[in-house]
Structure formats: C-alpha cells, structure tokens
Amino acid sequence: MVEFDGDIAIIGVGAMGSMAMWRCALRSQDVVGFDTTFPASDRTAVGGDTRLFRRAYQEGAGFTDLLADAQQLFHELNADTAGVFTQCGGLSIGTRGGEYMRSLEASIAASGADHTILDRDELINHYPQHALFDDDYGIFDPLAGVIRSDQAVLTAVQLAEQAGAVLIRNTRLISVASGPGHVDIASDDRRWRFRRVVVTGGAWSAALLPERLSAHLIAKRLPLTWFVAKEPERYSPERFPVFIRESHDRVLYGAPSIDNTAVKVAGMTAYGAVHPDQLSRDLSPIELERATRIVAELLPGLFPSPVRADAYPDQFTLDRVPLIGWIDEMPGVYVATGFSGGGFKMSPAVGEAIAQEVVGRHPVPSVAFARPARVRNVL
C-alpha cells in the first residue's frame, strides 16, 4: 500500500502559495507548504512593502472576475489583520490618445469597471501632487487600493495554520515526479509523497517544470525606489491614491506612504532577465539617475533623491499570461506561476481557484484563460 505524507503539497509559500495554503486548508485537513526560506521573505516577489490593487485593469477584461473575487478575499484578510488592504482608489494618468490610456479605456469598456474620467484641470484640483503635461488626463478607479504584501502573506499563512495546514520552512524542493496515484517530491536530503502537488515557486518555478513550460518562462528583476515627501500628509492613502502613469516616454507607478514619510515610486527603468539567485539588489547609477530625474519632473513634492532602493524577482511568461492549471505530462501536478509583474492583486482569488481545482476538482472558469495546455513544445 502506498503511504502518503499528506494530501496536498504546496511548493513555494509566497503570494500564490500562501493564499493557496489558506484556501486549501479550509477544504482539506492534510495540506503541507514548503518554502526555501520563509513566507514573505524580501528576496521574493513579496518584498518591497506594498502592491497596487486595481479593478480598472489595462491588462485586459480577462482578469475581471479574478479581481472581483480577490477584492472580496482581501477584505476577509483585513478582518483578521487590519491594514492588509486599504481601498484608497487608483489614478491612471497619461497622454490623451497614448497607448496606455487607449488600452485602459478599451479594457474598462469591456469589463464595465467603475471609473471616473478626470480632465487636466480636475486632476490639478484633486491631485496636485502630480505635475502634468498639457495633453495629460486621468482615469480614477474607486475600487483600487494598496496591499501590504508581507502582511497579506503572513495573515494567509496564519489562517492556513489555524485551519490545520503545516508549513515547512528552509526547505528547497529540487524534484517533482509523478507516479501512479501519487507525486514524489524531494529536497537535498529528504523525500515526501503526496496525492497532489501545487508548484507556486515564483521566479524559481521553472526548475521544477517540464521543458515545454520552463521554456515559456523568464525570471526578471524589478527595481523599486522610495522618496521622502516634503509634506508627508499630502501623500497619505487618504490623499494620494496608488497611481500608474504613462505620459510621453515617462513610465512610472507608485503607492502612497504607509510609514508617513516615504513614497514608493517605480517602473522608471527596464526589467532585465535574471537568475533569481543571482539578482543584484543594488540599482546601477544609471537606474538611480533616471528614476530621480523622472520623480523630480513629475512628483515635485518629493525630495529628488531616493532614500531606499532595492530589486526583487518575478516570473514572467512570454505571452504575459500566467500559467494556472494541471500539467498534462505530470499527472497530479498543478502549477500557478508566471504572473509577470502583476500577480499580487489577484493572489487570493488564484489561491481560491487552486483550492477549488486541486481539492474540489471543479474547473474554475475565471482561470480558464491561463491554462498551461496553451503552451506548445518548441523542441
């Protein structure tokens, strides 16, 4: 008789794995999460304090249902740990007729997302923190907000543990192998056997996946910078919504101050391909100079000198659509990875979809667009 170490193993307890642990633990008594380090480590895609949540989402109307479900679950996390999610609204600012604002408007038209269009004068009146070009206008998303990423992950893990799940820290899994009715996983010095395995290893996922999928993935380095506000109260969540901006060739996004001092501003520099274990946390002089120049120009209420800079890895797919679902050639193995720099906002809903599909074995329509089966073998 086959002996099992548990029902479901979750490899990687970051954004997706923590939420999957929480939602699976509500349905199965036998859930075990593994992480190379510990949940919410700042070496992962959880690092950097905050993440933007948006409902008016330029990336496409395909995400509409996931984002609605995620928002409800973020409110549930808030009920446990106040401050995980602050619904401060979100502002998109951009050149009239520019590509970003055009695709955002198209996505809003398709999804029906709540929004208000603000002309340049209205932007100046309501959000004077942003310096504008003559042809800028704005779109306000009232349901957008800011997520404390570390708190969200730690709260989800705590709820999972309260529901009976077990977390094994400081353990990097190096192999996943399907057998008849079971899946074997191994670290350097131990093996375990589970009925089903979920791979949520973020930027490190490729090493555990078949070549068909790993060839579709590329880990990237995402820099973040923080700037101190001259008048901090003007950059609190009540007065300064999360924002994304594409004005002419300036691209940036940011979050209000959560420590009453520093404002996170990012997106000004390119995301390079990287091995996540060799990622340089230091920003180059060119990266720092470009970030500072754009902040000085477009956010003049911030001191034009970063007080903190860091870089974090995330897993991208070649088509920028995540991989969520069973892996045909590895029976019993499910993957959720490749969130391409935008996954945090949907993470609780992805965790819920994983639980429904892996524990309940019910296909979830809101993740059908992201099936790994779409990726063909290139060899």
Ligand X SMILES: Cc1cc2nc3c(=O)[nH]c(=O)nc-3n(C[C@H](O)[C@H](O)[C@H](O)COP(=O)(O)OP(=O)(O)OC[C@H]3O[C@@H](n4cnc5c(N)ncnc54)[C@H](O)[C@@H]3O)c2cc1C
Binding site for ligand X (CB under 6 A): 11-17, 34-37, 41, 44-46, 48, 51-52, 172-173, 200-204, 208, 222, 224, 312, 314-315, 337, 339, 341-345
The CB-of-125 to ligand X minimum distance in angstroms stands at 26
Looking at beta carbons only, is 135 or 211 nearer to ligand X?
211
Cβ distance to ligand X smaller for residue 58 or 337: 337
Minimum distance from CB of 5 to ligand X (Å)? 15
Residue closer to ligand X (CB basis): 75 or 230: 75
CB of 12 to ligand X, least distance (A): 3
Residue pair 128/145 in contact (Cβ under 8 Å)? The answer is no
Total residue length of the chain: 379
Nearest one of 333, 305, 339 to 319, comparing CA atoms: 339
Look at strands 323-326 and 182-186 and give their pairing: unpaired
In angstroms, the CA 125 to CA 328 distance is 55
Between 68 and 124, name the residue whose CB sits nearer to ligand X: 68
Q: How far is the CB of 52 from ligand X (least distance, A)?
A: 3
Q: Which residue has the tokens 């999360």?
A: 242
Q: In this structure, are strands 116-118 and 90-95 parallel, antiparallel, or unpaired?
A: unpaired
* Rounded-to-integer distance, Cα 226 and Cα 291, Å: 10
- 8-state DSSP, 201: -
- Smallest gap from Cβ 172 to ligand X, in A, equals 4
Closest to ligand X by CB, 13 vs 108, is 13
Phi, psi angle pair for 37, to nearest 5°:
-120, -100
Contact 205, 316 (CB under 8 A): no
